[in-house]
Structure 1
Amino acid sequence: MEKIFRALPCTERQKVTFATFATFDTFTFKDNAEEWWLLTLAKEEITTWARFLEVFYEKYFPDSLREQKASEFIHLKQGTMTVVEYKSKFTQLARFVTYVIPTETRKARKFEARLDAKIKDRLEVLKLPTYAEVVD
């Protein structure tokens, strides 16, 4: 879904709407998932993609797994990974810890801080404000 959102600009609300309709239509949400989603919407109007992911992960990923992923994220370093591999792992784990990186600037600094020292030293002087700019 997120790859589609990068290619097609849309609002946060449109992301949530598209994701839920597309998911129901392709039967990715099975059995009681659609019912859970409708009940969730009855309690709270979810208008941002970040909030949708938060609610979804709370429901479908046990606390122990989310804590494990959060710990992996907090301790993640580039190490022997390429920047592309590091970015992929960072992105994969970041969805479980939106509270650690609530803004683009904090996300950029976190990514930058765990890069290989040679790369990190070159980037720090630029003080790039967004995650996308740091990755590029």
Structure 2
Amino acid sequence: MTNGNIRESLVSLARTMTIHVNMGVEPILNAMENTMTSRLRDFVRMNPPNFLGSMMGEDPQEFLDGVFKVLSSMGVTSREKAELASYQLREVAQVWYTQWNDNRSVEWGPIEWEEFKEAFLGKYFPHERREVKVEDFINLKQGNMSVEEYSLKLTMLSKYAPSLLSNPRDEMSRFVSGVADRVKEECCRNILHDDMNLSRLMVYAQAIEETKLSRISRNLKRIGPSDQNELRFRKRSQIQDEPRDPKV
């Protein structure tokens, strides 16, 4: 056999091997593509939130939490979470993501969820803004809000300060520290119960407030205008005389 024949045989063998390899790879790639398409279709059907990056009042943390909730229920991988979440970026946010992704080094490999989350928050919810939310949570007081309104606002802000709420006792103490004086004493007593939790304490505080306000309203209806003014003055004096910061 001449060198030319040997060379032709090797070239033919290489072509045959390439064909077989491609035949094996193509179905795998098609299967992966079909799987991702199916994932995306299921994801969109669950109506995840969108993020534009240009609207006033958009909450980046709320977007991430909403998307992550949907993704967790689907049981997808960390890489699939990052890819699916990127589909929910629109307008300015989509432009940012495209530029950020193009500037990533190829050596870093596919984008994982934690990397996507860190980059997204770094752009739209930097550390300084997060610190402001934490301060809002720490300093929140009921003031003129009802217990229900105060509870809702406290719950919304709590997502920015998870490290301050490491156990149920911390959650209840934070709630009581900002609640109005008219229900604080009862709340302080009830958090000592072993079966008490934050949700039950909020409901209990709301019931106490409604009972006291209802009693005041009935008393005002039974007396005249001049007596009403005196009663209001006494009520304000009593509130001012109550201790402001009882130990929890």
TM-score range, shorter chain: 0.5 to 0.7
Do the aligned residues in 2 keep the contact of 1:105 with 1:129 (CA within 8 Å)? no
Q: How far, CA to CA, are the matches of 1:21 and 1:39 in structure 2?
A: 8
For the pair 1:117 / 2:181, whether they are aligned, the reply is yes
Q: Which residue of 1 is the match for residue 164 of structure 2?
A: 100
Q: Which residue of 1 is the match for residue 139 of structure 2?
A: 75
Q: How far, CA to CA, are the matches of 1:105 and 1:15 in structure 2?
A: 33
Q: Which residue of 2 is the match for residue 90 of structure 1?
A: 154
Q: TM-score, normalised by structure 1?
A: 0.61
Q: Which residue of 1 is the match for residue 129 of structure 2?
A: 65
How far residue 72 of structure 1 moved from its aligned partner, in angstroms, is 1.1
CA change 1:66–1:27 in 2 (3 A) is: closer
Q: TM-score, normalised by structure 2?
A: 0.37
> Which structure features the higher share of helix residues?
2
Q: How far, CA to CA, are the matches of 2:182 and 2:85 in structure 1?
A: 43
Q: What code does the residue aligned with 2:167 have?
A: T
Q: How far, CA to CA, are the matches of 2:166 and 2:74 in structure 1?
A: 18
How many equivalent pairs are there?
A: 119
For the pair 1:131 / 2:203, whether they are aligned, the reply is no
Q: How far, CA to CA, are the matches of 1:39 and 1:118 in structure 2?
A: 52
Structure 1 gaps of 5+ residues are 3-9, 44-51
Q: Which residue of 2 is the match for residue 41 of structure 1?
A: 113
Do the aligned residues in 2 keep the contact of 1:70 with 1:96 (CA within 8 Å)? yes
After TM superposition, where is structure 1 displaced by more than 4 Å over at least 4 residues in a row? Answer: 19-36, 54-59
How far residue 76 of structure 1 moved from its aligned partner, in angstroms, is 0.8
Bigger RCO (CA 8 Å, 6+ sep)? 1
Q: CA RMSD in A?
A: 3.9
Structure 2 gaps of 5+ residues are 1-48, 50-61, 63-68, 105-109, 204-248
Q: How far, CA to CA, are the matches of 2:135 and 2:114 in structure 1?
A: 33
Q: Percent identity?
A: 22
